[in-house]
Amino acid sequence: MDGQLIRAAAVAATLAIAPTGTMAHQLVVFASVDCQVVTVEAKFSNGRVAQAGDVRVLDGENTLLMTLELGEDGTAVVPLDSVDHSGGLVIEVDTGGHDNYWIVTPDDITRNCGS
């Protein structure tokens, strides 16, 4: 499954699970993976891009590996060679008022590297 498919799965799950009456204003975090980077995207469920916030990268033991700033376009890029991703990664985004997370498993990463 490539990065697009990861995002597509999340969108499909959202559509399938909450077709009506969904949260009107919630931070939505996606993380897509390729062999080099994890691309983090954050926006609110009303469609507005989250223009600022902290992106925390943690490992499977909840150890903080890296902190990044969310860009004005609502994205941040985590170079895979800068973190130990062997046990997967947890990506947390905190905009101050809202926060959410995305879990990247080792399988998510290996699938996208063709190994």
Partner 1 sequence: MKRFALGMAVAVLAATTGLAQDRPQIATVNYPLQYFAEQLAGDAADVLFPVPEDVDPSFWRPTISDISTIQGADLILLNGAGFATWIDRVSLPRSRVVNTSVAIEDQFIVTKSITHSHGDGGEHSHEGLAAYTWLDPTLASAQAEAVATAIAGKGLVPVEDVAERLIALQADLAALDARTAEALADVGDVAIIATHPRYQYLARRYDLNITSLEWEAGAMPSDAELAELADEAAQTGATVLIWEDTPPDAGFDAVTDLGLRNVVFSPLATANGDADFIASFDAYVTALSDALQAQPGN
Q: How far is the CB of 72 from partner 1 (least distance, A)?
A: 15
C-alpha 85/C-alpha 104 separation (Å) is 9
Nearer to partner 1, 16 or 114 (CB): 16
The DSSP line for 24-86 is SS-EEEEEEE-SSEEEEEEEETTS-B--S-EEEEE-TT--EEEEEEPPTTSEEEEEGGGS--T
Nearer to partner 1, 6 or 55 (CB): 6
Nearer to partner 1, 77 or 103 (CB): 103
Host H or E run for residue 94? strand 89-94
Point out which residues bind partner 1 (CB under 8 A): 1, 5-6, 8-10, 12-14, 16-26, 28-29, 60, 87-90, 95-97, 100-108
Beta bridge partners of 93: 55, 100
Q: How far is the CB of 11 from partner 1 (least distance, A)?
A: 10
Nearer to partner 1, 23 or 113 (CB): 23
